[in-house]
Structure 1
Amino acid sequence: MDNIASNNGAVKEHRSRVDAEAGFEDLRYLSGFGNHFASEALKGALPDSQNSPLKCPYGLYAEQISGTAFTAPRKANQRSWFYRIKPSVTHEPFYPRQPLHEHLVGDFSNEKGCVTTPTQLRWKPVDISKARTDFIDGLFTICGAGSCFVRHGYAIHMYAANASMEDSAFANADGDFLIVPQQGRLWIKTEFGRLQVSPGEIVVLQLGFRYSIDLPDGPSRGYVLEVFSGHFQLPDLGPIGANGLALPHDFLTPVAWYEGGVYSGFKVVQKFGGALFEAKQNFSPFNVVAWRGNYAPFKYDLRKFCPFNAVLFDHGDPSINTVLTVPSERPGIAVVDFVIFPPRWLVSEHTFRPPYFHRNCMSEFMGLIYGLYEGKAEGFLPGGASLHSCMTPHGVDTLTYEKTVAAGDDLKPFRISGDSLAFMFESSLTPKITHWAFNSPHIDPDYYKCWIKLRSHFDQGTATVENDEN
């Protein structure tokens, strides 16, 4: 197998040992963010000197997938070429999938089916059904803004599943999926190759890709950020300089791998306009023998993030922990950012080190992958979530505040444990909440109580002499 990469440097192959029984042993990846890659599972499967020759090697079909308009500027243009055994057009007509999936939303432009509220919201971890539930059936929308029809906005979903997808593949025509597993590994087959994604890692599966998700560990749950507005980018580093945060070489893309043969009754489930449609075909969509381009899925290990922080006084804004972003047309304003709160040292002097109390013009959805979040001593559990919308006040809970203040100026440098990892989806667009999320039995009706006992520490007698004289 030959694997070649250009643009941002040489390819590094990374190996991941997984269970050989499922064919995920000794996985290899291509390294780099936004690279132009080339990968072939059979030597010589890639055409030489052109993309669409009259006859492709091995009798393969050439097929292009475009993630941007043909006329997008070269630096923003994303597309890849597949060389496959049968083209993806070879399927029966799409029909609405039955039974209908009632818990997915792709259009938040009207009020029907959604709730708006400025109240702080928190959800406890969802239960995983005992009935057979794969990744598709286990998806449910929490909130979002905009519409997939006008290609603007985002949706936040969660998933709770207990079964692998069988003889089926999923494709999303609405937007990119950024998946954050919280429990259980994901074994993902794509048209580009295979990935293993564990809790502590993320995977981005872009618009249009076909993929299937297996659950090697059984019950699994996690979070999904769907973006209708373009694709994820690395944030600019500005005064930080050339290095830091998420490093491009730590992003991994699969190498070519294919399934041949006949698969009678294979189903492709396509998400289109927020609804699911299904078509049958007699072959696996993972029949791509070779591919090349810069439009491809990728994964990233969040433990490789290089954080920056205040080293003298005060608390840095959470934007300093941005892993990926989707910019809007307004400079400096994101449609959505993916931010993490990783292990790190806190050393600022005379400073309230946990996240400060604030109101934000951005809306913040938080999740906890594992451990204990530094700003919430109780109630915020792994697999749970919270939502603080535009200008809704929030901050650390009473217990965290009192414990921090009690330490006084003797507070020593300390490290946020490596056993803790939280994240945030932050957006400039105000979300609407789905009815089933707002009325969920997992919503925490007592969330407000974590702040209600914050007491006044005001003492007029501590004013300075200068102030008294003035």
Structure 2
Amino acid sequence: TSVLQRTLAARVPCPKDSWLYRILPSVSHKPFESIDQGHVTHNWDEVGPDPNQLRWKPFEIPKASQKKVDFVSGLHTLCGAGDIKSNNGLAVHIFLCNSSMENRCFYNSDGDFLIVPQKGKLLIYTEFGKMLLQPNEICVIQRGMRFSVDVFEETRGYILEVYGVHFELPDLGPIGANGLANPRDFLIPVAWYEDRQVPGGYTVINKYQGKLFASKQDVSPFNVVAWHGNYTPYKYNLENFMVINAVAFDHADPSIFTVLTAKSTRPGVAIADFVIFPPRWGVADKTFRPPYYHRNCMSEFMGLIKGNYEAKQDGFLPGGGSLHSIMTPHGPDADCFEKASKAKLAPERIADGTMAFMFESSLSLAVTKWGLKTCRCLDENYYKCWEPLKSHFTPNSRNPTEPK
């Protein structure tokens, strides 16, 4: 069944809550204590601002033979903005892990996690049950929900965290009742519980005000034998997205590819949108079909799950990313421009075998020290992909009496 049927199908605000029936109350634990923060941060002033176009090569996954790293210890904050204490903002994290969480679970007191796996499967255990998450699927673990992650190989992916708001389906307006991500395609975890004693040995990790804390308890936290409500984790297969596209002329705004949005208090403005660029037909005429060169009032972090993104011929690879900040110009590389400028505008398939996505925000994102220096994946030559662009302006080639 769809977890979003009641909360999103009507596209109106709805209270969110769930009742959980446990074998033993979750209050039975030792005090929380601060632990090593690793590369998780919400300090947006670690390094100075950088307005340049930024691109990262695939983020390196640690080898299990060298060091075992699970989902939590493999979290790395790349960029973000806003303030956790006032419940307004977001963060982008990368997870790089090679081992399962053993007698450890995690929950986020600060916000919701939208998880986008790129390499490797995740078996996610939650208080509501379990779900298998594969590349080309996403899941949302909402604020306060405890979960643990098993992996089966070297695993990598992206996380969009939002504070103070929840993800929801975008308003469809003139599109009508159906289109984009349909409520029927969102799935909740498979029923499961664990009645297991772990005397003094189960660790519950809490991210609170941007810091990590841990407490110990004697039982598994997944001892929920029944629940009801509409506040649950959920997942979605990106292949189910119903694409809306231009069928006459002009390149449409990427908002037509919005899967989920986290709204701000300003109408029509989002704290964050999750946007994808799935396989589709391109049929627009009298048009430069790839994304046009632009500057705008949004921060755009892009990632690639698989394949080759249509606006970049080289350098933008699965497991990597790019960030184009507010009012920084960007667009297709020179090779893409030349190819698209000369292409015959017949119907063509776009992005077959590819899935690129974008975390888009109205906030100005700051990049962390890990993102700019420590990770060593930053592509210092990214700007060069536009250097070969040449002028094709020919003011005298048209007859001024002909319509333009």
Scaled by the length of structure 2, the TM-score of the pair is 0.95
Q: Give the 5 Å matches for 1:334-353.
A: 334-353=270-289
Provide Cα deviations, 1:86-111, integer angstroms capped at 9, x if missing partner: 111000001111xx123112353xx2
Deviation at 1:364, TM superposition (A): 0.3
Name the amino acid aligned to 1:291: W
Distance (Å, rounded) in 1 between the aligned partners of 2:108 and 2:323: 25
Q: Give the 5 Å matches for 1:20-419.
A: 30-35=1-6, 75-97=13-35, 100-108=36-44, 111=45, 113-130=46-63, 131-216=67-152, 218-264=153-199, 265-407=201-343, 410-419=344-353
Unaligned runs of 5+ in 1: 1-29, 37-73
Deviation at 1:391, TM superposition (A): 0.5
Distance (Å, rounded) in 1 between the aligned partners of 2:198 and 2:302: 41
Q: Contact between 1:202 and 1:301, CA under 8 Å: does it hold in 2?
A: yes
Provide Cα deviations, 1:408-444, integer angstroms capped at 9, x if missing partner: xx33211124310000000000001101211131000
Pair member with larger Rg = 1
Q: Contact between 2:3 and 2:230, CA under 8 Å: does it hold in 1?
A: no
Pair 1:456-2:391 in alignment: yes
Scaled by the length of structure 1, the TM-score of the pair is 0.82
Provide Cα deviations, 1:239-270, integer angstroms capped at 9, x if missing partner: 11111000001000114311003112100011
Provide Cα deviations, 1:304-361, integer angstroms capped at 9, x if missing partner: 0001000011111100000000111111000100000001000011211111111110
Q: Give the match's secondary structure for 1:436.
A: helix
Q: Which residue of 2 aligns with 1:430?
A: 364
Name the amino acid aligned to 2:16: Q
Distance (Å, rounded) in 2 between the aligned partners of 1:175 and 1:34: 22
Q: Give the match's secondary structure for 1:462.
A: coil
Q: Contact between 1:136 and 1:170, CA under 8 Å: does it hold in 2?
A: yes
Q: Contact between 2:19 and 2:229, CA under 8 Å: does it hold in 1?
A: yes
Deviation at 1:158, TM superposition (A): 0.4
Name the amino acid aligned to 1:429: L
Name the amino acid aligned to 2:98: N
Distance (Å, rounded) in 2 between the aligned partners of 1:222 and 1:88: 30
Deviation at 1:75, TM superposition (A): 3.8
Q: Give the match's secondary structure for 2:197.
A: coil
Distance (Å, rounded) in 2 between the aligned partners of 1:258 and 1:463: 72
Distance (Å, rounded) in 1 between the aligned partners of 2:176 and 2:163: 30
Provide Cα deviations, 1:172-211, integer angstroms capped at 9, x if missing partner: 1011000000000000000000000000000000100110
Distance (Å, rounded) in 2 between the aligned partners of 1:433 and 1:234: 28
Provide Cα deviations, 1:374-423, integer angstroms capped at 9, x if missing partner: 1101110000100001011000000000011122xx33211124310000
Q: Give the match's secondary structure for 1:386.
A: strand
Q: Contact between 1:115 and 1:434, CA under 8 Å: does it hold in 2?
A: no
Distance (Å, rounded) in 2 between the aligned partners of 1:35 and 1:288: 22
CA RMSD of aligned residues (A): 1.4
Which region of structure 1 is more displaced relative to structure 2, 414-423 or 305-314?
414-423
Distance (Å, rounded) in 1 between the aligned partners of 2:328 and 2:227: 47
Name the amino acid aligned to 1:81: W
Deviation at 1:32, TM superposition (A): 4.0
Q: Give the match's secondary structure for 1:401.
A: helix
Name the amino acid aligned to 1:123: W
Deviation at 1:148, TM superposition (A): 1.1
Q: Give the match's secondary structure for 1:254.
A: coil
